[in-house]
Chain A
């Protein structure tokens, strides 16, 4: 072996894999990556992600540490030792890592992840504010039931991009007082929001990073998503499922306000009645 050259290369490899290790780990620690959590279940989801960051981070560091150690120890030439291992030893050596990974992964899914999953897809709280959100290329049509508390029927044939974007059926009286908005969802803080999700044309996905919410919208099916906003403010809605050429511009806003402000806004929309 050309041991000098090989040693140099072993050093370079150690630097490479060490660098990957440091880059990965330092990167996560360096900066607050995720947008501040603004919904009740976001804390649980962040906990889930933090759990994975720590556990997989540890496995990552151990794995790369061993890799670096072996390259350093056996990569520079040296006395040969018998590498033969018994089948039994090989089986035994795989037990500990497998058990560890089984614990890490299934505990993550079942113990930490399941309650979050349950919160996202569980029962709808009774006091939830129901909002109908219809996605179409390339906007979000938001509808509140109005003072009568009932959504009007919709009819695809009556959709008009300018005057009736959600296709309210003129023959249904309960739709007359529905409040229709484009691309802005107003929600009261600390009250569960239940969004009824529909699509007029292709797949879309309702996504608000700050709420840790993402829900595909399948045309032909009425989907839903629920969350409790806990922070007054303005948040961006993104479309996460490719929906056409202006997919990137299919952006909306969620405005979370106090209950009083929200009530005032509702009254204003219904022409001061109620």
Chain B
């Protein structure tokens, strides 16, 4: 499509500045890291379900971690730590946010590429060494970091206290530093692309909700990551520079009094969670945005409550920055401060109620087309409700005393940033695959993937809530140590079996991914009859997307909004806005001029 000569291979697919190629690079990197992280989780499940079992094969494969075929406790902690770190930062963050975001943002706002294509390439090539460092940290002496994905000092600062806090932790900090640099560059690019490169007529209130969620996610990323950078720098200095930012006096480890003085570990927790909590929304919101787009397209109706959703997203963003303390209710913080955090935290329920309600109500009078993407979007609706309601138990300070650091928490966040976000990636991939490769993913395999994934993961993570309710603590190498938990341990076996089915389902997914990219059914330009701008270019989308980007004339979800309640009006088709908004032509006033009332994507204009 583009007029100039094709670029050489290495410029097109390796050091590419094309947002779509970079997006796919991110997604495939995330997929590779997911294989690592899922493998870790399988090893974790084996240990916690059948603690102390001898696996001679593992003893041969990984003699350092499996002494005589039995997993060592410190290696178990490395597994847990690295599973969390890799999943949160190197699978979900780069797969869903960087990957999906890169691919879809310019296409949906009608831009030919990101605002800073070179920076975009740079941010991808910063994440690659970060991934290699994280994986490489398993090989160093003492093993990978083992202080939990939160890396709380003093444990993470003292190699004397934990083998993984030696070289492994240093590499962890280095990998995270690179990740933060990369992710900040990415967020910057998203923010500027969305605010500045929108095509003619694409006012803020005409942006698809996916774009809104990526916008908010990038703002949160820009504001929330620096405190983690600060914390990481200080932790590094405590570890190697002899300072004591986080380390108090009088520490005695292994019989030796350490020379630190005056620091406080709580400071690290505050800085960590100032990032950590918004990070949840950085990941969660784009999945919800994708769910909205998919539900609208395959429900053949406008999103219910576009405006209330946008406002709710903004409120979530603001609230997410001032509630980090709910991760620290039992840290001994001032009880009044604890109550403040509790009151603010459960307030997040309110905008999420609106978002959840709008997702469900978007099915009302829909004409459901149950494609694989749609199934995953429906799964998101259920998972975000299940996980979100579980959050109330943890956000309420009084009940969090019981649930803090229990398996309940593990079940809760696996729903929110495990199921919802990965379903977001799946829904997005099945939905936009034609735009990526010009082919459809195989629907039969796709549906097998959905059913084999959904039932087991819901079962497993709901069951984890129960075990947590029974009082089981997380990060425990051998849960049978505690007598009061023993009657519940049989459930771990069923959870493990269920999760193994879910893991097998991901193999189906990978087969489908590779098979369909080369052999899938050819896709037309707009196979799903979508109304948003990405469906106006060829499949697969060419370099620079359009010679002349289309103009947006109305909101993104004009499905069956005409009098006959049939068909749909793509965003780029001029004419009267079917849902009653004022027409906006190319020669009209530019978007975002205050005088220009944003059009209502699904406003009252009852046609009959």
Quick check: A10 and B161 within 8 Å, CB to CB? no
The reply to whether B386 and A24 contact each other, CB–CB distance below 8 Å, is: yes
Cβ–Cβ contact B366 & A83, under 8 A: yes
* B469 partner residues in chain A, CB cutoff 8 A: 28, 33-34, 49
Check if B249 is an interface residue, CB within 8 A of chain A.
Answer: yes
B292 vs chain A, min Cβ distance (A): 14
**Interface segment out of the listed B235-243, B480-488, B523-531:** B480-488
A266 on the B face (CB < 8 A): no
Which residue in B162, B251, B353 is a CB contact (below 8 Å) of A245?
B162
Complex contact A212–B360 (CB within 8 A): no
Say yes or no: A74 contacts B366, CB within 8 Å. Answer: yes
A81 to B300, CA, bound (A): 11
In the complex, residue of chain A having the shortest beta-carbon distance to the beta carbon of B475: A242
Cα of A168 to Cα of B513 in the assembled complex, Å: 65
Whether B265 sits at the interface, judged by CB under 8 Å, is: yes
Enumerate chain A residues within 8 angstroms of B358, measured Cβ to Cβ: 90, 94
B264→A94 contact, CB < 8 A: no
Say if the beta carbon of B393 comes within 8 Å of chain A: yes
Does any Cβ of B come within 8 Å of A4's Cβ? no
Q: Check if B548 is an interface residue, CB within 8 A of chain A.
A: no
Contacts of B389 in A (CB 8 A): 56, 59-60
Instruction: Report whether A83 and B302 are in contact in the complex, using a CB–CB cutoff of 8 Å.
Output: yes
Asked if residues B365 and A83 are in contact (CB atoms below 8 Å), the reply is yes
Contact yes or no, B392 A105, CB < 8 A: yes
Cα distance A239–B475 in the bound complex, in angstroms: 10
Closest to B578 in A: A84
Whether, in the assembled complex, A255 has its beta carbon less than 8 Å from a beta carbon of chain B, the answer is no
CA distance A44 to B605 in the complex (A): 52
- Residues on A with beta carbons closer than 8 Å to the beta carbon of B289: none
Cβ contact within 8 Å between B462 and A24 = yes
Q: Which of A9, A212, A220 contacts B249 (CB 8 A)?
A: A220
> B368 interface residue, CB < 8 Å from A?
yes
Query: Does chain B have a CB within 8 A of A259?
Result: no
Alpha-carbon distance between A241 and B158 when the two chains are bound, in angstroms: 16
User: Contact partner of B604 among A9, A86, A236, CB < 8 A?
Assistant: A86
Whether B307 contacts A90 by the Cβ 8 Å rule is yes
CA distance A51 to B305 in the complex (A): 31
Chain A residues closer than 8 Å to B458, beta-carbon distance: 20, 23
Q: Interface 1/0s, chain A 106-119, versus B by CB < 8 A? A: 10111011101110
- Residues 149-193 of A at the B interface (beta carbon under 8 Å): 156-157, 159-161, 167
CB within 8 Å of A: which B442-478 residues: 447, 451, 454-455, 458-459, 462-463, 466, 469-471, 473, 475-478
Q: Does B155 contact A218, Cβ atoms closer than 8 Å?
A: no
Residue in chain B with minimal CB distance to A32: B470
Q: Is B67 an interface residue (CB 8 A)?
A: no
Give which listed residue, B257, B370, B476, B602, contacts A84 with CB less than 8 A: B602
B393 partner residues in chain A, CB cutoff 8 A: 49, 52, 56
Does the CB pair A247–B332 fall under 8 Å?
Answer: no
Which of B152, B370, B397 meets A13, CB within 8 Å?
A: B370
> Is A82 a contact partner of B365 (Cβ separation < 8 A)?
yes
| Whole-angstrom distance between the Cβ of A32 and the nearest chain B Cβ | 9
- List B residues 330-347 near A (Cβ within 8 Å): 330-332, 335, 338-339, 342-343, 346-347
Taking the complex as formed, is B489 at the interface, i.e. its CB lies under 8 A from any CB of chain A?
no
Known pairs A6-B370, A105-B392; A251 contacts B482 (CB<8 A): yes
Among B73, B332, B361, the residue within 8 A (CB) of A223 is B332
Residues of A within 8 A of B148 (CB): 242
Name which of B247, B250, B251 has the most chain A CB atoms within 10 A of its CB. B250
Q: Tell me if B248 counts as interface (CB < 8 A to partner A).
A: yes
Which of B107-115, B181-189, B538-546, B558-566 sits within the interface? B558-566
The A11-68 residues at the B interface (CB cut-off 8 A) are: 12-13, 16-17, 19-20, 23-24, 27-28, 31, 33-35, 44-45, 48-49, 52, 56, 59-60, 63-64, 66-67
B residues apposed to A, CB below 8 Å:
72-74, 77, 146-148, 152, 154-155, 158, 161-163, 247-253, 255, 257, 263-266, 299-302, 304-305, 307-308, 328, 330-332, 335, 338-339, 342-343, 346-347, 349-350, 353-354, 356-358, 360-361, 363-370, 375, 378, 381-382, 385-386, 389-390, 392-393, 395-399, 401-402, 404-406, 447, 451, 454-455, 458-459, 462-463, 466, 469-471, 473, 475-479, 481-484, 488, 559-561, 565-566, 579, 600, 602-608
Beyond A80-B560, A156-B252, 19 additional pairs, beta carbon < 8 A: A35-B471, A63-B385, A64-B385, A83-B300, A83-B560, A90-B308, A105-B347, A113-B399, A114-B398, A117-B335, A156-B251, A201-B251, A212-B401, A215-B332, A219-B265, A220-B250, A221-B264, A242-B148, A247-B77
